[in-house]
Every structure is written in C-alpha cells, then in structure tokens.
Amino acid sequence: MTRWAKKPAGPLLEEKPTVNATQAIHELIYRSCLTLDEKNVKAYLDLCDPEFHYTITAHSPEIRKEMTWLEHDKAGLQTLLTQLPRHNSDHSPLTRHATVYTVQYDDDNKQASVVSALQIFRTTLDGGATELFAVGKYHDTVKLNGDASKLLKRVVKLDTRMFGFGYHIPF
C-alpha cells in the first residue's frame, strides 16, 4: 500500500514516483533481509548510504520506556558484522521475513519512509527444528536516487525481548 506524505505546497519531484520506484523500494527491503540471512556483510552494506544509521529498540512495559539495544553508523555496523564470526554465540541460521506495509514519499528530501513487518525464524543446528525467534517492524528511511536508492536509516522496533545468550546479530 502506498501513501503520499501530506506536505504543504512546495516544490515536488518532477514526476510522482512510479510503480517501478515503489517496487524498487520493496526489493531493497527484501534484499536487505536476504543478504543478512546469507551473512553477506559486504552486500548488505552496499545497500546502505554512506550516512546510514542503524538502531534496534524495544519497548519495556516494566519500566515504561523505549530501550535502545544497539546503535551504529555504517562504519560501526561494518565492524560489528565482520567481528561476529569471532564471537562466542549461537550460530544457528536466522531467516528474516519482511512484508512491506507502507511507503510514504517525501518529495522535498527525495526520501521514502517505509514500514515493514518483520518475523525472524531460527533453525537449530542440532536437530534442524525451526521456530519463530523474534517479531517486530522495520522503520526504514530510503534515499531515493533513481535505480541506486539506498537505505539511509533503519530502526528495528522489536516486540520480542527475550533471546537468550549469544545473540549479537542485527536484525
């Protein structure tokens, strides 16, 4: 579903984004999931703008506050992702499933705000059982640049708050 952001009258893009632009945004979100599933750090970071900012948050009803669990710029995220194989952690593969809900275009800034549902499944290495691991939403800002659109910001808002030990993997 595509919605146009309501803005005061002002300069607009010469043309409204086409179905192809919206499809390209969907593919960018889906490709980000595939590259993380494959643990392909370079391919994932290639989808991100140099000014990319990544955050994982969750709301805690116990303390009635939003918690920030992880926050990195592109360089910090690259360091984290390249160091993960050296961490003592659960190496069970994760499979991300995203469904794009809304795309709102900001013509003035040549950006789009995208909200996607996120489900993450974990398949255990000992036995191969697959279970739902986490749910939440992606709140992405995409920098629009024709065919070269990039992720500018990703905020992962998780509903799940209990993961056990050894999970350092960004979602």
User: Rounded to whole angstroms, how far apart are CA atoms 56 and 153?
Assistant: 11
Highest mean pLDDT among 5-9, 29-33, 91-95: 29-33
For residue 163, being part of any structural domain is answered with no
For residue 166, being part of any structural domain is answered with no
For residue 77, being part of any structural domain is answered with yes
Amino acid at 19: V
CATH number for the domain including 76? Answer: 3.10.450.50
> What's the number of domains the chain is made of?
1
CB 151 within 8 A of CB 52: yes
For residue 12, being part of any structural domain is answered with no
pLDDT greater than 90 at residue 85: no
For residue 80, being part of any structural domain is answered with yes
- Containing domain of residue 104, as a range? 17-158
For residue 114, being part of any structural domain is answered with yes
**pLDDT for position 4:** 43
Residue 21 pLDDT grade (very low, low, confident, very high; cuts 50, 70, 90): confident
**pLDDT for position 8:** 44
Name the pTM for this structure.
0.85
pLDDT greater than 90 at residue 108: yes
For residue 95, being part of any structural domain is answered with yes
**pLDDT for position 9:** 42
pLDDT greater than 70 at residue 17: no
